[in-house]
Amino acid sequence: MTQPLLDVDKLSVTFQLPTGPVTAVKDVSFSIAEGETLALVGESGSGKSVTSTAAMRLLPELAKTTGAIRFNGENLLEVSAKRMRRVRGNDISMIFQEPMTSLNPLHRIGRQIGEVLVKHKGLKGDANRRRVLELLNQVGIPEPERRFSSYPYELSGGQRQRVMIAMALACEPKLLIADEPTTALDVTVQAQILDLLKSLQTQYGMAILFITHDLSIVRHFADHVAVMRQGEVVESGRTVEVFDAPQHDYTRMLLDAIPRGRKVPAPADAPVMLSARDVKVRFTTKRRLFGGNDHFEAVRGIDLTVRRGETLGIVGESGSGKSTLGRALLRLLKSEGDIRFEETDLAPLDKSGMRPLRSKLQVVFQDPFGSLSPRMTVGDIISEGLKVHRPEMNRRQREAEVIAALEEVALDPGMRNRYPHEFSGGQRQRIAIARALILKPELLLLDEPTSALDRSVQVRVIDLLRDLQAKYGLTYLFISHDLSVVRALSDDVLVMKEGRVIEQGPVETIFTSPKEPYTQALLKAAFLEEEVAA
Amino acid sequence: MTSESKPYSGDNADGAPLPAGGPNPPRAPEPETTAAPAASAAPAGESLARDAWRRLSQNRAAMASLALLIAIILVCIAGPWFLPWGLAEVDWNAFGTGPTLENAHFLGTDANGRDLLTRVLYGGRVSLSVALVASFVSLVIGVLYGAISGYLGGRVDNLMMRFVDIMYSLPFMFLVILLMVVFGRNIFLIYAAIGAVEWLDMARIVRGQTLALKRREFIEAAHALGVRDTKIVTRHLIPNAIGPVIIYVTLTVPKVILLESFLSFLGLGVQEPLTSWGVLISEGVDMMESAPWMLLVPSFFLAATLFCLNFLGDGLRDALDPRTR
């Protein structure tokens, strides 16, 4: 091997922002040989995406790059814009994280794939169509003839990602840059896409630059790995070596950031906190003037019981109805069936009837960016519940409570007059937890509370949730698609699919000897075995 | 009944919960950790409005515009008292003369020998008050209507928006003439007629914003806290929809001023000798070649006002968004 395919040499990227220059990438060097896979790993803000975007020369104007990115010996940072357009899509192509938004919703997918071929290969008419169908077939789209003239909205997330891959492969590139290609997908779909990439790689003999934050994928997928942190490569080498004997503290920390431990079970005689019988949620999909409405059943008759101090993990892929179930249990959505909280039957209660109970039933949502109003200070956000449930409190008393709540979640109370956008994802999630805790709830619905966070942050939030549960005997309903987190936190697990319970039972039973094929598939796709062994 | 959830209160030494009603409960002494936060952040205890004002006052263009706008308003209100000429007073020695110090026609006279500065200031009173009242009416009605319609959704939303559609489909002139017939000619009718039409756009804009916002998780979190619907609308929805609203208001003002001059031109608005900027400009257009100042002077006032409003609107939008620092 004389010359690597892609050689990044002392690359630095600095953004000239109005507030001053910000260096996103510092002296980064790595190289990829033909047919090889290099994974660029790092948490959010580590500069991994900036590096790959620089290789495509797609950075915004205000970014200044130094160093060199040599592709087949040609420095891509110096070639003309015209030459670069030839390289993009033809020699190097890219797939993105969001299959939902990276296809143009107004064009049929056949045309979108065909466009690349027209541009770079001058392939038109029948030849174009044949090649597109061949590609669709290769990426495993069923009925390519029919899908050729589908619009993106008619495809599922996984299928869209396949279409993106077909587009990227259209000109048989030598290098494929995959920027978190599976992050937005369900675990089972994720495994399929990775398999697909792997087989296409051998078929086309292309190199892959794989950008991800997910170490379990790296271990299965990449030959080499480069770990990035704050714009610098802290460690790189063969995947096996880095994983087996990490040299840098940061790598070790990342590898270690796996939710560990098991929950201490609640006493068996603990009183039942929440129970539900035959809960159903129906959404009206189409309203008709005559002859009834069309419905979609998101939750189709679910029973569950949670005791005080217990955690019930609700697991399922997207669209399984797990979030809908959670909202229905707290009566944030209309539902049928019986729901009892302690001694109270929630079903007949209306909005004002529910209000006194709201302080005991609290929620923490998935998206720490969407769940805090951007125009309120953190203090106002946290104290809002007090205004509803403790109207007798005055400003100073509320402030004292806010300070206590912030300390409880290990945030600096001095920050209560700032706005949410000034905080990182993990900090925001702590704010959301503080907002729920200030009302001294008994049951907390945690709807994917860690999914939007980096692994290392995730572990800390989980520790926090665990501590709080132990301290106050809280009961958790924990909704997640992340099985390792569920395993670390729950007593019981409920596996959902298409609005029904597939399997239900104590966490160890489900994880060690799942009965249903669906559960087995889920567990397998999550690469759990290794994590447990590690 | 909730003995287990009590421990919350005890563990924080100073956050000692609720010294019930005690006067001046000791403010929790700042723990050591408080030393850290950067001093650049918002000072303690600021509301969004105060915070916004602080940010606005740092925006020079917006502050200059605000000062100029206030100056124009004050001059329009107080100016006529200090000028020697009345609104309809004819100077028989000066028909259509240009700006001159003689006889104190600082900005000239119109074709009928009336002092132009005096008329522009009187016209400004009419135009500015129409703009202010109509924009305010459209702002209040439109924002509330749109937010309620979008928030409640379903059948209520359907009914409320169909009403808006019906209002849209009413010919505006027909509405004005109808009002004139019923109530007689009156300047307040102009306010009412323009206000009745302008809020429709605003309602649609705010409804659209609301529909997008109400799916956001912070609204759901407010539901989970048991916050009342009225509070959700006023505390969560409206403040977050404010950006487009402000932009639209700054667009409404010129629209209203021109609408008024259009009505006046048709004989449905203000009547001679009373005038407005729009009327003065349309008169000025006729005399553009022989007496350009008749066009330039009222145009300058109108343009300056709109210019200021745009800068002020931009400044306000930025100031009300905590994300822009």
Model confidence pLDDT, tens digit, residues A340-378:
888 888 888 888 888 888 889 999 988 878 889 888 889
Instruction: Count other Cβ atoms within 10 Å, centred on residue B107.
Output: 19
Q: What is the mean pLDDT of residues B201-225?
A: 88
Residue B21, pLDDT above cutoff 60? no
Q: What is the mean pLDDT of residues B65-93?
A: 81
Q: What is the pLDDT of residue B34?
A: 32
Q: What is the pLDDT of residue B96?
A: 64
A249/A319 same-domain check: no
Minimal Cβ distance to B48: which of A375, A407, A414: A375
Least confident stretch, A30-34, A37-41, B103-107: B103-107
Q: Which among B4, B34, B225, B245 is the top mutation candidate for probing chain A, defined by the most A β-carbons within 10 Å of its own β-carbon?
A: B225
Minimal Cβ distance to A370: which of B14, B17, B218: B218
Q: What is the mean pLDDT of residues A294-316?
A: 88
CA distance A30 to A9: 7
A472 with B321: Cβ contact below 8 A: no
B2 vs A contacts (CB less than 8 Å): 360, 440, 442
Whose tokens are 């590139």? That residue is A173
A288 vs B contacts (CB less than 8 Å): none
CA distance A37 to A40: 10
B232: left (phi over 0), alpha (psi -120 to 50) or beta: alpha
Read off the tokens for B308: 């200021």
CB A492 within 8 A of CB A476: no
Minimal Cβ distance to B5: which of A399, A401, A472: A472
Instruction: Count other Cβ atoms within 10 Å, centred on residue B307.
Output: 13
Q: Which amino acid is at A262?
A: R
CA distance B193 to B35: 58
Question: Could you read off the pLDDT of A324-337 as tens digits, one per residue?
Answer: 899 899 888 888 88
Q: What is the mean pLDDT of residues B62-83?
A: 86
B222 with A384: Cβ contact below 8 A: yes
Annotated domain spans of chain B: 52-90+103-324
Minimal Cβ distance to A400: which of B15, B35, B228: B15
Q: What is the pLDDT of residue B324?
A: 66
Using DSSP, state whether A363 is helix, strand or coil.
Answer: strand
Domain with A150 in it: 102-171
Minimal Cβ distance to B224: which of A358, A417, A471: A358
A439 with B225: Cβ contact below 8 A: yes
A161/A234 same-domain check: no
Give the residue ranges of DSSP H helices in A280-394: 322-329, 351-358, 378-389
Q: What is the pLDDT of residue A403?
A: 93
Q: Does the domain made of B52-90+103-324 have the CATH classification 1.10.3720.10?
A: yes
CB A148 within 8 A of CB A136: yes
Q: What is the pLDDT of residue A495?
A: 92
Q: What is the pLDDT of residue A493?
A: 92
**Residue B3 Cα to chain centre, angstroms:** 53
Whether A264 is covered by a domain: the verdict is no
Q: What is the pLDDT of residue B248?
A: 87
Q: What is the pLDDT of residue A311?
A: 92
Q: Which among B159, B218, B320, B323 is the top mutation candidate for probing chain A, defined by the most A β-carbons within 10 Å of its own β-carbon?
A: B218
Sorting pLDDT into bands at 50, 70 and 90, what band is B94? low
A163/A117 same-domain check: yes
A497: left (phi over 0), alpha (psi -120 to 50) or beta: beta
Sorting pLDDT into bands at 50, 70 and 90, what band is B145? very high
Question: Could you read off the pLDDT of B242-262 as tens digits, one per residue?
Answer: 888 888 888 888 888 878 877
Helices (H) and strands (E) in chain B, counts: 13, 0
| Chain B nearest CA to A372, separation (Å) | 5
Whose tokens are 């040299």? That residue is A247
Q: What is the pLDDT of residue A317?
A: 83
Whether A450 is covered by a domain: the verdict is yes
Last residue of a domain, one of A171, A194, A229: A171
B30 with A413: Cβ contact below 8 A: yes
B36 vs A contacts (CB less than 8 Å): 412, 414
Read off the tokens for A11: 């690359």
A419 with B322: Cβ contact below 8 A: yes
A421 with B48: Cβ contact below 8 A: no
Last residue of a domain, one of A171, A200, A216: A171
Sorting pLDDT into bands at 50, 70 and 90, what band is B30? very low
A151/A179 same-domain check: no
A476/A523 same-domain check: yes
Q: What is the pLDDT of residue A443?
A: 92
Using DSSP, state whether A198 is helix, strand or coil.
Answer: helix
Q: What is the pLDDT of residue A478?
A: 93
Minimal Cβ distance to B224: which of A363, A397, A418: A363
B31 with A407: Cβ contact below 8 A: yes
CB A56 within 8 A of CB A139: no
Q: What is the mean pLDDT of residues B102-114?
A: 72
- For chain B, the distance separating the N- and C-terminal CA atoms, rounded to the nearest angstrom, is 47
A163/A279 same-domain check: no
Q: What is the mean pLDDT of residues A447-473?
A: 86
DSSP code string of A378-408 = HHHHHHHHHHHH-TT--HHHHHHHHHHHHHH
Last residue of a domain, one of A403, A418, A434: A434
CA distance B105 to A141: 82
Sequence-distant (6+) residues with CB within 8 A of A255 are: A215, A243, A246, A534
Counting residues of chain A whose pLDDT is more than 70, the rounded percentage is 97
Whether A186 is covered by a domain: the verdict is yes
Q: What is the pLDDT of residue B17?
A: 35
B216 vs A contacts (CB less than 8 Å): 370-371
B321 with A360: Cβ contact below 8 A: no
Whether A66 is covered by a domain: the verdict is yes
Over chain A, what is the mean pLDDT? 85
3-state helix/strand/coil string of A447-501 = ECCCCCCCHHHHHHHHHHHHHHHHHHCCEEEEEECCHHHHHHHCCEEEEEECCEE
A435 with B225: Cβ contact below 8 A: yes
Q: Which among A327, A403, A443, A472 is the top mutation candidate for probing chain B, defined by the most B β-carbons within 10 Å of its own β-carbon?
A: A403
Q: What is the mean pLDDT of residues A70-93?
A: 86
Q: What is the mean pLDDT of residues A447-460?
A: 83
CA distances from A509 to A84, A487, A493 (A): 55, 11, 9
Least confident stretch, A409-413, B198-202, B258-262: B258-262
DSSP state of B106: T
Question: Could you read off the pLDDT of A104-145 as tens digits, one per residue?
Answer: 888 888 888 888 888 888 888 888 898 899 888 888 888 888
Q: What DSSP element (H or E) covers A92?
A: strand A92-95
Sorting pLDDT into bands at 50, 70 and 90, what band is B155? confident
Residue A45, pLDDT above cutoff 90? no
Q: What is the mean pLDDT of residues B284-297?
A: 79
A23/A109 same-domain check: no
B16 vs A contacts (CB less than 8 Å): 400
CA distance B173 to A495: 64
Least confident stretch, A167-181, A342-356, B23-37, B248-262: B23-37
A374 with B25: Cβ contact below 8 A: no
Read off the tokens for A521: 């598939």
Question: Could you read off the pLDDT of B303-321 as tens digits, one per residue?
Answer: 888 888 888 888 888 888 7
A385/A277 same-domain check: no
Q: Which among A289, A352, A373 is the top mutation candidate for probing chain B, defined by the most B β-carbons within 10 Å of its own β-carbon?
A: A373
Q: Which residue has the higher pLDDT, B191 or A7?
A: A7
Read off the tokens for A373: 């109003």
Minimal Cβ distance to A404: which of B12, B227, B239: B12
Q: Which among A375, A423, A448 is the top mutation candidate for probing chain B, defined by the most B β-carbons within 10 Å of its own β-carbon?
A: A375
Q: What is the pLDDT of residue A289?
A: 67
Sorting pLDDT into bands at 50, 70 and 90, what band is A400? very high
A371 with B224: Cβ contact below 8 A: no
Whether A263 is covered by a domain: the verdict is no
Whether A74 is covered by a domain: the verdict is yes
**Residue A485 Cα to chain centre, angstroms:** 13
Counting residues of chain B whose pLDDT is more than 70, the rounded percentage is 81
Q: Which of A438, A440, A446, A372 minimizes the C-alpha distance to A405?
A: A438
Residue B46, pLDDT above cutoff 60? no
Whether A407 is covered by a domain: the verdict is yes
Over chain B, what is the mean pLDDT? 76
Q: What is the pLDDT of residue A2?
A: 57
Burial classification of residue B46, based on how many CB atoms lie within 10 Å of its CB (0-12 exposed, 13-18 middle, 19 or more buried):
middle
Minimal Cβ distance to B220: which of A332, A376, A414: A332
Q: What is the domain count for chain A? A: 4
Q: Which of A214, A176, A167 minimizes the C-alpha distance to A198?
A: A176
Residue A183, pLDDT above cutoff 70? yes
A414/A519 same-domain check: no
Q: What DSSP element (H or E) covers B53?
A: helix B48-57
A149-183 as b/e: b if 16+ CB within 10 A = ebebeebebbbbbbbbbbbbbbbebbbbbbbbbbe
Q: What is the mean pLDDT of residues A450-472?
A: 86
A325/A394 same-domain check: no
| Chain A nearest CA to B44, separation (Å) | 6
Q: What is the pLDDT of residue B4?
A: 36
Read off the tokens for B142: 């439109």
The number of C-alpha atoms within 13 Å of A19 and in the hemisphere containing its C-beta is 4
Sorting pLDDT into bands at 50, 70 and 90, what band is A382? very high
| Crossing angle for the helix pair B116-152 and B277-286, to the nearest 10 degrees | 130
Minimal Cβ distance to B7: which of A370, A417, A471: A471
Read off the tokens for B67: 């000062």
Whether A206 is covered by a domain: the verdict is yes
Question: Could you read off the pLDDT of A508-520 as tens digits, one per residue?
Answer: 888 888 898 988 8
A155/A299 same-domain check: no
B23 vs A contacts (CB less than 8 Å): none
A296/A242 same-domain check: no
